Structure 1
Amino acid sequence: MRPLAIIGPTGAGKSQLALDVAARLGARVSVEIVNADAMQLYRGMDIGTAKLPVSERRGIPHHQLDVLDVTETATVARYQRAAAADVEAIAARGAVPVVVGGSMLYVQSLLDDWSFPATDPSVRARWERRLAEVGVDRLHAELARRDPAAAAAILPTDARRTVRALEVVELTGQPFAASAPRIGAPRWDTVIVGLDCQTTILDERLARRTDLMFDQGLVEEVRTLLRNGLREGVTASRALGYAQVIAALDAGAGADMMRAAREQTYLGTRRYVRRQRSWFRRDHRVHWLDAGVASSPDRARLVDDAVRLWRHVT
């Protein structure tokens, strides 16, 4: 069975569409979902990543969820190996692998079989020293001067990936993305469906999503994760929402600080959505669908369109 990938910006409704597609196909063929959201790899990072609870997964197997402790570093290379093995095992069972997520490098590494350039410990160490000297903001600005495309795809708070990109640029003399294959036929003949909607609609969804996260207990979730080592996690501690709450807790956890953390999470998510759109819109293989539909008939047509594309796109 060839895979279906459902990609697009945060808040577009990718997880829900994947469940609906699985329900539509379920009478004839089984479906298993492979996560492509970097922060949903972490155990305990549930509310702030909008991870589907087990009770809402409709009995559909999900892979690449809750596979890392927050103290472990998430890497694209590790994800690529593990997720590719999942996709191939699912297909071998006669089921349809549905890849769902919006982490740009994770999606591309999986669907394009990205080859990762070698690392040089001495070069890496030099950039890490530079990071310690100037901080992640200035180092990210330096990356933007050397490789604007890489900087656009990497969060300004992501020190580890900023260092890695600068290392690759120095070692290869080429942009970070040059290590990725040119866009051609997607791996496994995957059909790629993109989900997006008007910015005003998505902004409203992101505002509701952010409020819901804080109302459902994001702050307490962060407190629990801090007791489990979140602060020591290189990647987990910098996730949107989590980094902002950590800063608010460090500043005294007052009501004003938490309101600011909520607002910063919302604004940071909007900025991230712009980067996601810029990245995914460059891929001519994506078949875009409108996620702004609200009525049940329109929702049914959206699911029909995704299934039709999977069945008939060549």
Structure 2
Amino acid sequence: MRPIAVVGPTASGKSALGIALAQELGGEVVNVDSMQLYRSMDIGTAKLAPSERGGIEHHLLDIWDVTRTASVAEYQALAVAKVEEVLARGKVPVLVGGSMLYVQSLIDAWSFPPTDPQVRARWEARLAEVGVDALHAELAAVDPDAARVIEDKDPRRTVRALEVIELTGKPFQASQPPKDAPPRWGTRILGLRAEAAWLNPRIELRTHQMFEQGLVDEVRGLLDVGLTRDSTAGRAIGYAQVLSLLEGELSLVDAREQTITGTRRYVRRQRSWFNRDPRVAWLDAAGADVPGAALAALDSRE
């Protein structure tokens, strides 16, 4: 009764594989997508509706308001407790998502590095002085690996990484557990490998479908419950672009195109992150029978 993690880039088919595995093995899905934690962020996160979940119980969806600042440490505590609850009921936890830090916080015994309000305040002041792009460039100069993982428009995580580097004297990535250590609970990790020639059209199709399904109206509704551009939720890919559209900074065409571009850039980060983990058993996302290949990979690792 070990957990199974399904990781890989956006739009590679993780949700469908997670459901198939849960159905076959008697499991329940535990969400590891940071933006699907937010209530009412449905269209832009490709969150499965209850009717699309194949009768499988899904956990840790819709638990935070869009006004809440995301916290990997808080997620870790909730997710560890949920996985152990599922295991205690004799079910297989199927961990599904591509949010890199959230995946690693869950499957590795990651103790989060220290914080210091004065150091944090100094970097926040630097952020206010030079802006997020310049601060992210400063991070890239001292810790290129961290800069490749952290979005260049994410001021909170950029500040946090620089704070950790100053406090520890080590790269931000050094505060994370090594990827060759045994995963928590003996979790078996499956990764969906998707070539750009196959994945990029899927990203484009998914983005166009999101706008056709009402992403702009979804964002308008979220504005009424407190969504802002400087919040964690407001910086999510797709949501940030629609906010710029609603404020007159982008046309509809540009908002769609920038969402596609931002998703592709994020996919490159995901590939870089997960490819460095030797514990991942890779599957061809474009294969004819991905669930069958996944079950075979699990059998080979027993």
Pairwise TM-score range, normalised by the shorter structure: over 0.9
Residues in 2 aligned to 1:303 and 1:227: alpha-carbon distance in whole angstroms: 41
Equivalence map 1:103-182=2 (5 Å) = 103-182=99-178
**How many pairs does the alignment contain?**
301
Tell me, in whole angstroms, the C-alpha distance in 2 between the residues paired with 1:41 and 1:275: 21
Which residue is equivalent to 1:239? Answer: 236
Distance verdict in 2 for CA 1:286–1:72, change over 3 Å:
same
Letter in 2 for 1:53: A
Q: Which residue of 1 aligns with 2:202?
A: 205
TM-score normalised by structure 2 residue count: 0.97
| Counterpart residue number, 1:268 | 262
Identity %: 60
Q: Is the 8 A contact 2:38 2:64 kept in 1?
A: yes
Report the TM-score when normalising by structure 1.
0.93
CA contact (8 A) 1:7 1:14 kept: yes
- SS state at 1:231 partner: coil
SS of the aligned residue for 1:84 comes to: helix
Contact between 2:21 and 2:94, CA under 8 Å: does it hold in 1? Answer: no
For 1:65-80, list aligned pairs within 5 A: 65-80=61-76
Secondary structure of the residue aligned to 1:99 is strand
Show the 5 A alignment for 1:30-41: 30-41=26-37
Task: Report the alpha carbon displacement of residue 234 of structure 1 after superposing the two structures with TM.
Answer: 2.1
Pairwise CA distance, 1:24:
2.1
Give me the whole-angstrom Cα distance separating, in 2, the residues matched to 1:156 and 1:170. 19
Q: For the Cα contact (< 8 Å) 1:244–1:265, is it kept in 2?
A: yes
Partner-residue secondary structure (3-state), 2:16:
helix
Q: Distance in 2 between matches of 1:307 and 1:292?
A: 16
In the TM superposition, residue 233 of structure 1 has moved relative to its aligned partner by 5.9
Question: How far apart are 1:312 and its partner, in Å?
Answer: 4.1
Please give the alpha-carbon distance, in whole angstroms, between the structure 1 residues aligned to 2:198 and 2:299: 29
Q: Return the alpha-carbon distance in structure 2 between the equivalents of residues 310 and 201 of structure 1.
A: 25
Distance in 1, matches of 2:74 and 2:252, equals 34
Query: Which consecutive residues of structure 1, in runs of 5 or more, have no partner in the other structure?
Result: none
Cα distance in 2 for partners of 1:164, 1:234 equals 15
Contact residue 5 and residue 191 of structure 1 kept, 8 A: yes
- The CA deviation at 1:308 is 2.9
Q: Give the stretch that moved more between structures: 147-156 or 302-311.
A: 302-311
**Contact 2:9–2:194, Cα closer than 8 Å, also in 1:** no
Query: SS of the counterpart of 2:113?
Result: coil
Which residue of 276, 279, 283 maps to 1:282? 276
Q: Does the residue aligned with 1:68 lie in a helix, a strand or coil? A: coil
* Counterpart-to-counterpart distance in 1, 2:273 and 2:23: 30
Distance in 1 separating the partners of 2:293 and 2:186? 18
Unaligned runs of 5+ in 2: none
Q: Which residue of 2 aligns with 1:225?
A: 222
The aligned counterpart of 1:313 is: 301
Secondary structure (helix, strand or coil) at the match of 1:230 reads: coil
Give the secondary-structure state (helix, strand or coil) at the position aligned to 1:289: strand
Aligned equivalents of 1:186 and 1:309: distance in 2?
A: 17
CA RMSD of aligned residues (A): 1.2
AA aligned to 1:211 is H
Deviations 1:157-204 (A, max 9, x none): 111111100100010010111111112111100000000222111001
Deviation at 1:23, TM superposition (A): 2.2
Deviation at 1:116, TM superposition (A): 0.3
Q: Report SS of the residue matched to 2:5.
A: strand
* Contact 1:71 1:233 (8 Å CA) reproduced: no
